[in-house]
Amino acid sequence: MPDTEPTPFDQMGGAAFFTSLVHHFYAGVATDPVLRPMYPETDLEPAERRLRLFLTQYWGGPTTYGDERGHPRLRLRHAPFAIDDDARDHWVAHMRSALDETMREQSLDPAWEQQLWRYLVGAAIAMVNTDPPASADSPRADTSPPTSAATDSPTTIATIQETPR
């Protein structure tokens, strides 16, 4: 049997790493006044499991997520929820905290941490599906088409991407 290259999943610490990361993330979500109402389940365990399985598969681990749920279709699955910049920022803050806590518990190569963080921030930006409300003083009050969330506020996005640990 030929040797296979370790996947990013393996190099990040496998199931233990992703279990810890997602568990810490949902501990923050559980008490967040912006994010918690977006989860219809009383128990966050099903959502925690879905995210854990998704990240596991995305980074090269077992394909349980796809086997059970099919293609991730992240934007489509999140479409029923109004996700604005504030929700994105809350999500990113909890994920940063979870990643920091997981890094304290487990050793992860800083290069993998940076790659994972870039992915997580990019995914959070992509999930924004609601424009901020327009005000009379806002440039959005005109009739020009809105810009995408990914280019709408580069300062905010740069700040998120460079959040210090």
Task: Summarize pLDDT for 22-35 with one digit per residue, the tens.
Answer: 999 999 999 999 99
User: In terms of residue numbers, what domain contains 102?
Assistant: 9-131+147-161
Residue 162 pLDDT more than 60? no
The torsion region of residue 68 among left (phi > 0), alpha (psi -120 to 50) and beta comes to alpha
Residue 85 lies inside a defined structural domain of this protein: yes
Cα-flanking dihedrals φ and ψ of residue 42, to 5°? -65, -40
Q: Examine residue 138 and state whether it is found in any structural domain, yes or no.
A: no
Q: Would residue 142 count as lying in a domain?
A: no
HSE value, Cβ hemisphere, 13 Å, CA-based, for 103: 16
Q: Does some domain include residue 74?
A: yes
Residue bearing the bigger pLDDT, 154 or 43: 43
Whether 60 is covered by a domain: the verdict is yes
- CATH number for the domain spanning 154: value is 1.10.490.10
Determine the Cα–Cα distance for residues 57 and 111; give it in Å rounded to an integer: 20
- Quick one: what percent of the chain has pLDDT higher than 70? 75
**Prediction pTM value:** 0.77
Q: Does 2 map to a domain?
A: no
**Could you give the C-alpha distances from 66 to 26, 45, 51, 70, in angstroms and in order?**
21, 18, 12, 4
The total number of structural domains in the chain stands at 1
What pLDDT score was predicted for residue 11?
Answer: 95
Evaluate whether residue 3 is within a structural domain.
no
Percent of the chain with pLDDT over 90: 57
Give me the pLDDT at residue 158, please: 38
